[in-house]
A and B are shown apart, each in its own frame.
Chain A
């Protein structure tokens, strides 16, 4: 039975604290338990209001599960709730030495597309490097999660946003490089 409208906040619908570092296995257990409990079929005879609450709770739970299970989507959700504009252009988030390598990779990609086989080897080397950088970024991200949970400051969220922007940048490059080698 619902005593009122279910929460619309993704953390609240799971009955957990607003934290960035989440135990996804625990989240999954809660997802299955709440899904069963709130399934609209179980509330069909409890009246129109209870049924509406169950449907709303189930819908929010599904959205929340999709977002919170993924560290990047979770971080973007927390950033958005804190008033950060995720899509904002932040050219300064990419350090100059990384830009050099990005430029070189783009040059090699262009040559590889033009049929230069030797450029493919260069793309392959760059791909390995950028995949490594992505992994490093994910380690840094997890560190920021823990730091934010211990002391939730705006500065921490600002650095998180920069990191996610850098990640997106690298991910696009890795995608292009893989496509060129395929």
Chain B
């Protein structure tokens, strides 16, 4: 299967690879996986708790090119957004940006799940009530 140019670009030059100290209260960590293909994705955000703006985002993904590209793109999009804006990111946005074929849509779902899990973790650490939308999915 041919990957789109954008997928290849993110795969060859992944943005924001790395990790943050997950014990920090201003860091939210999302760890998600897809049993079928064995993908595992860790996505972290560092939030300015005064402004609620995501100042940094990091990821590390073990999986196919589309999974790596989806999470790389997600970290790019997350930076500079408020936590609430970040919750608006949908997997379909990732699909259209990266031109993912139908068999790779689950990679974008994984990235969306990772964003929600990271925000959820951040909110839990901040002691905020966790909205139903971020947990049930």
A residues near B, CB below 8 A?
87, 89-91, 93-94, 96, 99-100, 102-103, 106-107, 110, 165-166, 168-169, 172-173, 176
Contact = CB atoms under 8 A, between A and B. Distances in A.
Contact of A91 (B32, B42, B60): B32
A169 B38 contact: yes
B35 A103 contact: no
Given A96-B31, A99-B31, A91 B113 contact: yes
B115 to A, nearest CB: 14
Secondary structure type dominating chain A contacts? helix
Given A89-B109, A91-B110, A99 B32 contact: yes
Contacts of A93: 35
Contacts of A91: 32-35, 109-110, 113
Contacts of B38: 169, 172-173, 176
A91 B60 CA distance: 17
A138 to B, nearest CB: 16
Contacts of B133: none
Interface in B32-48: 32-36, 38, 40, 42
Nearest to B32: A91
B: interface residue count bin: 10 to 19
Given A89-B106, A89-B109, A91-B113, A106 B32 contact: no
Contacts of A169: 33, 35-36, 38
Contacts of B34: 89, 91
B22 to A, nearest CB: 10
B86 to A, nearest CB: 19
Contact of A166 (B35, B106, B113): B35
A171 to B, nearest CB: 9
Nearest to A90: B35
A169 B62 CA distance: 13
A94 B109 contact: no
A153 B46 CA distance: 45
B31 A165 contact: no
B109 A102 contact: no
B35 A165 contact: yes
Contacts of A106: 40, 62
A122 to B, nearest CB: 15
A87 B36 CA distance: 7
A75 B124 CA distance: 39
